[in-house]
Chains A and B, each alone.
Chain A
Amino acid sequence: MKDDRPLLLLADDDPSIADTLAPFLERAGFHVLTVSDGAAALDKVHSHRPALVILDVLMPRMDGREVLRRIRRGNLWIPAILLTQVGESSERALALEEGADDYLNKPFDPHELLARIRAVLRRARPGERSLSTSWTLSALDLILDRKARRASHKGEALDLTPKALAVLEYLMTHPDECVSRERLLEAVWGWEYPAGTRTVDTRMAELRRALDDDPENPRYIETVPAEGYRFVAPVKGE
């Protein structure tokens, strides 16, 4: 009988993490392959072609970022989630640069990982580049140049704070997905702020002002009551 559960490759050098996450993900309906170092992860990617890879950043022999870089260099657009050890902002920026589809800071709730896996798989178009690996993203009149850290709307450059730009980047790489404030905080700010949800709202208001987007009748960013935000415009990547 052929196993039609999606195959996940989980690469983490800490056995306590691999040993507990694998059964959890199996129960959730996935087939899980675990490896404990980067070089083995790269081998398995080539031999098994998993539906998604989960890579720890700090691993022996080859770190998670290098693995991802090599996967991408081989024009393999397998979706990837990076598990970052420290919440450094440089690391998050890098995670995007290496073409990760999402990232999660340790320690995390396994349910959160599961939610990300499902969202990434839902977004993935087999064999195609994902938005996370595109340098330029466009939606309606909005263009985001991720490398130059610039955004323009109707041909005019937007004056955005770096945080607001990062929020926009996260939303545009996760279109049509309800993104909670907590998740934005973790992804963009890297740490939880006690007054965090308001912090997110402040930047969202800044974005909406810049985009001239009416929250009641949004073209770009929709508020999902009690949940978070959703980027509703269709996004194209180049």
Chain B
Amino acid sequence: MKQLVSLRDFLIKLFNARLTRIIVTALPLFLGLLATIYVQNFLEPVPILAFRMDIGIAALLFGIFLTLLLGAYFFGDESRGWFARGDMDEVRREMEESRRQFIRRLDHEIKNPLTGLQAALVNMSETSADADRHRASENARHALDRLKRLLADLRKLAELEERPLERLPVDIPALLEEVTEAVQSLPAAQERKINLLISRVPWPFPPVTGDRDLLSLVFYNLLENALKFTASADSVEVRALEDGRAIVVEVADNGMGIPPAELPKIFEELYRGVNARGTEGSGLGLALTRRIVILHDGALEVRSRQDDPRGTVFTVRLPVARK
């Protein structure tokens, strides 16, 4: 029994050895060649199929065919790997570059509130007037809030990759109503009007399978952005419809619009466009939003124009739950 096992091991090893593979691959070709020479010397050509073919040539062709087949079987992965290596290097370079870019941006995002915090601490320790101390502590708190928000969003991004998504039926119209109401209760949005349009005829929306809380974050972020980058005279609209396969939600505004050159970059982590300089935010909102949509097998797109009629439309497509 033991011998049998070791014999089997030996055969497996032999079969897996590179030299064996090369020999086995080349063997049909070699045998075909031998057959060609041998047959030409001893046998008359015989008709095969419709045209006359030497049996030796047939053996050679068969050998070539078999060699190619075995070669593909044994060495296919290797050659594919060899061809793919160039692409891999390219991908790796891109990843490396985006990682470096992320660190540069992170450095920038941390630097500013930290500078504010440092200055506030100096003010606090060097002044004795109560009003000044109070202002300094307010500034410190503000800087701290910015840092905390950045950290919280970074954590969300990291956690999205790690924790399992809740997969339950989500009623999108109800969610949109809830989010719209929540955004409008923000102090900065009290005066603003958001038009919510949900098509309900001829049938109600089917549910989307997903994580309700994360999806609420998607619409919240888009809506908060729409309010942030529009003036109080501009309109903000949320519209939802269903096309049988997906629920499509658009968050639209007629605000200042996004420069065309920035459009491909706005979903990048910590990217800040010209509009976003000087506004509050972690710079991670859209990256988070897109990540959540992708985790739900959906798609997020943006269209924007800066010349009249100007404005921005974000479109979220979420596949509906299959029965």
Does A pair with B? yes
Give me the interface of A with B, judged by CB distance under 8 Å. Answer: 86-90, 107, 161-163, 189-195, 197-199, 202
B322 to chain A, nearest CB (A): 20
Contact of B224 with A by CB under 8 A:
yes
User: Given that A89-B163, A192-B152 are known contacts, is A161 also in contact with B168, CB under 8 Å in the complex?
Assistant: yes
Assess whether A87 is in contact with B212, with CB atoms less than 8 Å apart: no
Contact of B8 with A by CB under 8 A:
no
A202 to B211, CA, bound (A): 13
A-B pair number, CB within 8 angstroms: 49
Query: 1/0 per position for B172-216, CB-CB distance to A under 8 A?
Result: 000000110111000000000000000000000000000011001
Contact of B100 with A by CB under 8 A:
no
A67 to B60, CA, bound (A): 75
Q: Which residues of A contact B183 (CB under 8 A)?
A: 195
Q: Which residues of A contact B155 (CB under 8 A)?
A: 86-87, 191
Assess whether A199 is in contact with B166, with CB atoms less than 8 Å apart: no
Partner of A163, one of B163, B178, B213: B213
B167 to chain A, nearest CB (A): 10
Assess whether A194 is in contact with B182, with CB atoms less than 8 Å apart: yes
Assess whether B151 is in contact with A88, with CB atoms less than 8 Å apart: no
Q: Contacts A194-B224, A195-B182 known; list 9 others, CB within 8 Å.
A: A88-B162, A107-B148, A163-B166, A195-B178, A195-B179, A195-B220, A198-B178, A199-B212, A202-B178
A202 to B158, CA, bound (A): 26
Majority SS at the chain B contact face: helix
Contact of B308 with A by CB under 8 A:
no
Assess whether A202 is in contact with B212, with CB atoms less than 8 Å apart: yes
Q: Which residues of A contact B152 (CB under 8 A)?
A: 191-192
Contact of B78 with A by CB under 8 A:
no
Partner of B159, one of A163, A190, A192, A202: A190
B196 to chain A, nearest CB (A): 15
18 contacts between A and B (CB under 8 A): A86-B155, A87-B159, A107-B148, A163-B166, A163-B213, A190-B159, A191-B155, A191-B159, A192-B152, A193-B220, A194-B182, A194-B224, A195-B182, A195-B220, A197-B182, A198-B182, A199-B213, A202-B212
Assess whether B182 is in contact with A191, with CB atoms less than 8 Å apart: no
Give me the interface of B with A, judged by CB distance under 8 Å. Answer: 148, 151-152, 155-156, 158-159, 162-163, 166, 168, 178-179, 181-183, 212-213, 216-217, 220-221, 224
Assess whether A191 is in contact with B166, with CB atoms less than 8 Å apart: no
Q: Which residues of A contact B221 (CB under 8 A)?
A: 194
Q: Which residues of A contact B220 (CB under 8 A)?
A: 193-195
Assess whether B216 is in contact with A88, with CB atoms less than 8 Å apart: no
User: Given that A87-B159, A161-B166, A194-B220 are known contacts, is A107 also in contact with B213, CB under 8 Å in the complex?
Assistant: no
User: Given that A194-B224, A195-B183 are known contacts, is A88 also in contact with B163, CB under 8 Å in the complex?
Assistant: yes
A190 to chain B, nearest CB (A): 7
Nearest B-chain residue to A192, judged by Cβ: B152
A190 to B159, CA, bound (A): 10
B145 to chain A, nearest CB (A): 11
Q: Which residues of B contact A163 (CB under 8 A)?
A: 166, 213
User: Given that A107-B148, A194-B224 are known contacts, is A90 also in contact with B163, CB under 8 Å in the complex?
Assistant: yes
Assess whether B217 is in contact with A193, with CB atoms less than 8 Å apart: yes
Q: Which residues of B contact A107 (CB under 8 A)?
A: 148, 151
Q: Which residues of B contact A161 (CB under 8 A)?
A: 166, 168
Nearest B-chain residue to A195, judged by Cβ: B182
B22 to chain A, nearest CB (A): 50
A119 to B148, CA, bound (A): 25
Nearest A-chain residue to B181, judged by Cβ: A198
Q: Which residues of A contact B179 (CB under 8 A)?
A: 195
Q: Which residues of A contact B148 (CB under 8 A)?
A: 107
A199 to B152, CA, bound (A): 17
Q: Which residues of A contact B168 (CB under 8 A)?
A: 161
Nearest A-chain residue to B163, judged by Cβ: A89
A184 to chain B, nearest CB (A): 12
Q: Which residues of B contact A90 (CB under 8 A)?
A: 163
Nearest B-chain residue to A161, judged by Cβ: B168
Q: Which residues of B contact A197 (CB under 8 A)?
A: 182
Nearest B-chain residue to A106, judged by Cβ: B151
Partner of B217, one of A86, A162, A190, A194: A194
A192 to B152, CA, bound (A): 8
A189 to B148, CA, bound (A): 17
Nearest B-chain residue to A201, judged by Cβ: B178
Interface hub of A88, A161, A193, A194 (most chain B Cβ within 10 A): A194
Nearest B-chain residue to A194, judged by Cβ: B220
A69 to chain B, nearest CB (A): 23
Q: Pick the 4 closest A-B CB pairs, nearest first.
A: A195-B182, A195-B220, A194-B220, A89-B163
Q: Which residues of A contact B166 (CB under 8 A)?
A: 161-163
A195 to B181, CA, bound (A): 9
Partner of A88, one of B159, B217, B224: B159
Nearest A-chain residue to B164, judged by Cβ: A89
Interface hub of A88, A195, A197 (most chain B Cβ within 10 A): A195
Q: Which residues of B contact A88 (CB under 8 A)?
A: 159, 162-163
Q: Which residues of B contact A202 (CB under 8 A)?
A: 178, 212
